[in-house]
Chain A
Amino acid sequence: MLAATASRAVAADPGPDLVARGAYLATAAGCENCHTDKEHGGQRFAGGPALPTPFGTFYGPNITPDAETGIGRWSDAQFLRALREGVRADGANLYPAFPYPSFTEIADEDALAIKAYLFSLPPVRQQSRDQNVSFPFSWRTLISIWKLLFFTPGRFRPLPDRAAGSNRGAYLVTALGHCGECHTPRNWLGAMEPDAFLAGTPTGPDGKKVPNITPDAKTGIGKWSEDDIVNLLKDGQTPEFDFVGGAMRAIVDDTSHLTDADRGAIAVFLKNVPAKPFAGNE
């Protein structure tokens, strides 16, 4: 069993070891994409790059086990509450730039495995950057209203009539992978539009276009086979033998470490979500 130490070693099949399982799940959830500033050589999980949005620019905080500047003093219950309800250990609301609308569905044992993994890493003393948000969005209390309108906490519920393997795929896409957070269009207050789940948007993070990954034949990936989807997740390869760059490239760095079974499950699920047209001016 590979242990998650300083390297990015991720066990292909984590097995019972909690920290190794947590490492695998943290890769599936792509935590480092927001919590490690890779471009500037930042230390792992000590704080992430800028995420520009229409509401301000957000920075993933330090989630190493440092007691002063990280989450070293957080209990299991506090960690679960952050993922489940979007509430910080000190009781303040978290901005939904932290994708708790998706993470709320993560199973307790998976969340705690991720916590165990994080707590196995070296603590890094580094102050988290302030979120660069202007009034009124700077007032975290207002997020309670946002949550009332748009957010329902709750664990993932498998559906009995899903295609074989698709519940695992649904969990990976909807909860851990939180793919919808980039691939779903948002309303004027920044909440994902559930009727257009995964249908893409012309104005994703960084203001860039995010593709439609529903099975729509014209504007989505309807013509892709399950193998095509697996090839993308494994090597970044498209059906035309192009290789993705841009934001998806960082995702492929993570999905290339998933098991074949998990990538296959994602593919099955994506081929079965409701087909929607691209939510843009195309």
Chain B
Amino acid sequence: MKRSPIVLAAALLAAAGFAGTASAEDAKVMQDRQALMKQQGADMGGVKGYLDDKNDLAKATEAATDLPKTMAKLPDVFPPGTAGPNPDGKYETKAEVWTDWNGFLSARDTAAKKADALLAAVKGGDKAAIQTAFAELGKEGCGGCHQKFRAEIKK
């Protein structure tokens, strides 16, 4: 099974002084983490839908309002000891999240700022500005974190 990377990461972190141990709680956190990411994906979809004239500004505003909230929850779903494959089995969370916790928080802060900027743009109503803020959040915010802290699982 794919438990071994989690156990190894947990053992290393335990040796480094963290209290993390692989457990049912960790599995639940990883479910919550994936669900949070998918929620963020759906929110991005809500904004993009407006840009593509598929839904209205009200839906985009609802989505853009949710994004800063989910950004704030991110550190909670990355407790130590939860590196490894996500429930979908497509990606894995890299141990760098915790070996470079400051870098992780910095990436999160960047994403959170861009989510705030997107909300401001959506409230402003100018489509070009919304498009720019959307692209920035996606590439620099979401992509910036995925770049360093997530890996596709080799199949």
Residues of chain A touching chain B, judged by Cβ–Cβ distance below 8 Å, are: 202, 207-209, 227, 231, 234-237, 240-246, 249, 252-253, 256, 280-282
Contact = CB atoms under 8 A, between A and B. Distances in A.
A21 B149 CA distance: 36
Interface stretch (B6-14, B15-23, B41-49, B116-124): B41-49
A271 to B, nearest CB: 19
Query: For the complex, would chain B's binding face be called helix, strand, loop or mixed by DSSP majority?
Result: helix
A249 B146 contact: yes
B155 A243 contact: no
What 7 A-B pairs are tightest by C-beta distance, nearest first?
Answer: A245-B146, A243-B142, A241-B41, A245-B147, A241-B44, A243-B143, A241-B45
Given A202-B154, A235-B138, A281-B155, 20 more contacts: A202-B155, A227-B52, A235-B134, A235-B135, A236-B138, A237-B44, A240-B38, A241-B41, A241-B42, A241-B44, A242-B142, A244-B143, A245-B145, A245-B147, A245-B148, A246-B147, A246-B150, A249-B146, A252-B139, A256-B135
B100 interface: no
A280 B155 contact: yes
B139 A246 contact: no
A236 to B, nearest CB: 5
Contacts of A202: 154-155
27 contacts: A207-B154, A208-B152, A208-B154, A209-B154, A209-B155, A231-B48, A234-B135, A235-B134, A235-B135, A237-B138, A241-B44, A241-B45, A242-B41, A243-B142, A243-B143, A243-B146, A244-B146, A245-B143, A245-B145, A245-B146, A245-B149, A246-B146, A246-B147, A246-B150, A246-B151, A246-B152, A249-B146
Nearest to B40: A241
Given A245-B147, A249-B143, A282 B138 contact: no
A246 B142 CA distance: 12
Size category, B interface: 20 to 34
B155 A282 contact: yes
Given A209-B152, A235-B135, A241 B48 contact: yes
A256 B139 contact: yes
Interface string B130-143: 00001100110111
Nearest to B52: A227
Contacts of B42: 241
A244 B40 CA distance: 14
B138 A243 contact: yes
A236 B143 contact: yes
Contacts of B145: 245
Contacts of A244: 143, 146
A231 B42 CA distance: 16
A239 to B, nearest CB: 9
Given A241-B48, A249-B146, A235 B139 contact: yes
Contacts of B52: 227
A207 B153 CA distance: 11
A278 to B, nearest CB: 8
A237 B48 contact: yes
Nearest to B146: A245
Contacts of B38: 240
Contacts of A240: 38, 41
Interface in B91-134: 134
